[in-house]
Amino acid sequence: MASPQTIRPQELQQSLEGGEPIQLVDVREMEELALARLPYPVLHLPLSQSEQWMGSLEEQLDRQRPVAVICHAGVRSWHFACWLMEQHGYEQVWNLQGGIDSWSVEVDRSVPRY
Active site residues: 71
Radius of gyration of the chain from Cα atoms?
13
Strands 67-70 and 93-96: parallel
Among 27, 87, 26, 92, which Cα is nearest to 63's? 92
CA distance 102 to 100: 5
SS3 109: coil
Q: How far apart are CA 113 and CA 93, in angstroms?
A: 25
